[in-house]
Chain A
Amino acid sequence: MYRDLLDSAMGTAPPSTVDVDEVIGRQRRLTVLRGWGVAGAAVATVAVLTVGALTVGHPGPGNPRLTVGGPPVSASDRATGSPTPAPTVYPSLLGPEPTEPPPDAEARLHLAIRHAILAVAPGATMRERDGGSEFHFTHTDTTGPAAPSGYLPEFGYTATTTVTVTGRTADLAVTVSRAGAFHESCGGLPGAVCAPLTGPRGESGFATGQSVGEGSQLRLQVHLWLDRGAVDACTVTIEMSVDESDGGPPLTVQQLAEVAEDPAVTLYP
């Protein structure tokens, strides 16, 4: 009964823009890109460095931990495979099931993320879009017997906020998840320029930059994904969205990477 009512109210759908052949073609291309591994992404590093608003810091003596970008990739490298080891794909979630009650985890992560941002950008201010508090948390848990058959389990917390540094503002979402549910790659975001991330403890990931929209709606979107499975069985994803008319992003990719790498930003304190 409800279904018929809803179908009737929806009326005739406009022509579909979903093209199954295009979806298949795109996935085939992504498969090829994944075959190249991070080597393909390193080529795109040059491009991400040219995105004017994205000031990627170079690791120096005071900041040697996480490296953004990779070495140049030669044609022979590409012919023989990636110079960087292929990222691990986990068959299931790593690490033990977190026992921390969600309210406690959110309160702890609130402080940890706040501290991590202030460590890389002293003076940064954070507030929710509606002005309520600094962060809005979303908890995702599709693990355990409630998960549908064949569905990949997922467990994590997402903190969203609006961050301002020296007059520049961006929407920010920081997600801490158990590693293993999904493996992202540079090729997963067609059209974006991509820089690989590597850490001394086995962390690996990437950061992409992409302009979306047009005119006054033009926004720069940065997507950073860091696999810390080898360190603490977590992955950290940071998404930053900046209105292009706001004068550039408040945080560099290097700063975002350091937030993602912060050991306190974890599911296992």
Chain B
Amino acid sequence: MHRADEDEYRQFVLPRLEPLRRMAFLLCRDWHTADDLVSITLGKLYRRWHRAREARNLDAYVRAMLTHAWLDERRRPWRREDASGAVPDATAPAGEPSDAAMLRRLLGAVPPRQRAVIVLRFYCDLSVAQTASILGISEGAVKSQSARGLEVLRQSMTSPLVEEK
């Protein structure tokens, strides 16, 4: 990549680092993994910069890359995450959990695909069509998965506080 292209890449990436980290955290629920995912995404973006910069919506393109990087990582057997839609019924530990711990618990109750839909729709403010496009699923599937995911979140919010695994 030429120096001018690298400068352009850097100018695009730097202001988006924190938003991407936060999006990655919502997907994977762990800041270390979130940083790994962002690094992987930035590496891929660098390699594809000549094509990527031509994308109509480069931000959506990068979010798609990040989402797929997470889904790809999850496919690896040692990274497979077994989310449960069921509300755990363990008792709460002593002390009040932080908002971040509660958020991790809530998101952990939502299966990964539904979590991706929720993050793209409600955190990244993408439309149903854009979310469907990124995940390669129908708009109907986006609607049903976001409804199911939100229902799981509501159930979890009204359940007793539980100790995170």
Output the least CB separation between A142 and chain B (Å). 4
Output the least CB separation between B85 and chain A (Å). 15
Q: Chain B residues near A171 (CB, 8 Å)? A: 77-78
Q: Is the CB of A18 within 8 A of B103?
A: no
Q: Is the CB of B136 within 8 A of A140?
A: yes
Q: Interface size for chain A: under 10, 10 to 19, 20 to 34, or 35 or more residues?
A: 35 or more
Report how many residues on chain B are interfacial, defined by Cβ distance under 8 Å.
56
Which residues 97-128 in B have Cβ within 8 Å of A in the complex?
A: 98-100, 102-103, 122-123, 125
Instruction: Report the nearest B residue to A4, measured CB to CB.
Output: B123
Q: Is the CB of B21 within 8 A of A13?
A: yes
What does DSSP make chain A's interface, helix, strand, loop or mixed?
A: mixed
Q: Chain B residues near A9 (CB, 8 Å)? A: 99-100, 102-103
Interface string of A237-252 (1 = CB under 8 A from B): 0010100000000000
Q: Is the CB of B22 within 8 A of A10?
A: yes
Q: Chain B residues near A198 (CB, 8 Å)? A: none
Interface string of B44-55 (1 = CB under 8 A from A): 001110011011
Assess whether A27 is interfacial by the CB under 8 Å rule: yes
Q: Is the CB of A158 within 8 A of B75?
A: yes
Which residues 142-165 in B have Cβ within 8 Å of A in the complex?
A: none
Most buried by A among B43, B48, B135, B137: B43
Q: Is the CB of A27 within 8 A of B46?
A: yes
Assess whether A17 is interfacial by the CB under 8 Å rule: yes
How far is B12's CA from A64's CA once the two chains are assembled, in angstroms? 50
Output the least CB separation between A27 and chain B (Å). 4
What does DSSP make chain B's interface, helix, strand, loop or mixed?
A: helix
Q: Which of A7, A152, A219 contacts B78 (CB 8 A)?
A: A219
Q: Is the CB of A148 within 8 A of B13?
A: no
Q: Which of A11, A28, A150, A175 contacts B51 (CB 8 A)?
A: A150
Assess whether A26 is interfacial by the CB under 8 Å rule: yes
Instruction: Report the nearest A residue to B51, measured CB to CB.
Output: A150
Which residues 208-260 in A have Cβ within 8 Å of B in the complex?
A: 219, 221, 239, 241
Q: Chain A residues near B138 (CB, 8 Å)? A: 146
Which residues 48-88 in B have Cβ within 8 Å of A in the complex?
A: 48, 51-52, 54-57, 60-61, 64-65, 68, 71, 75-78, 80, 82
Q: Chain B residues near A11 (CB, 8 Å)? A: 98-100
Q: Chain A residues near B78 (CB, 8 Å)? A: 171, 219, 221, 241
How far is B134's CA from A146's CA once the two chains are assembled, in angstroms? 8
Q: Is the CB of B38 within 8 A of A18?
A: yes
Given contacts A6-B26, A146-B138, 9 further A-B contacts (CB under 8 A): A9-B99, A17-B32, A20-B10, A24-B46, A129-B80, A147-B136, A148-B60, A150-B55, A173-B75
Can you report 11 residue pairs joining A to B where beta carbons are below 8 Å apart? A3-B125, A6-B123, A9-B103, A13-B21, A13-B22, A14-B31, A17-B35, A23-B43, A151-B55, A161-B77, A162-B77
A residues engaging B (CB < 8 A)?
2-3, 6-11, 13-14, 16-18, 20, 23-24, 26-28, 30-31, 129-130, 138, 140-143, 146-152, 154, 158, 160-162, 171-173, 175, 219, 221, 239, 241
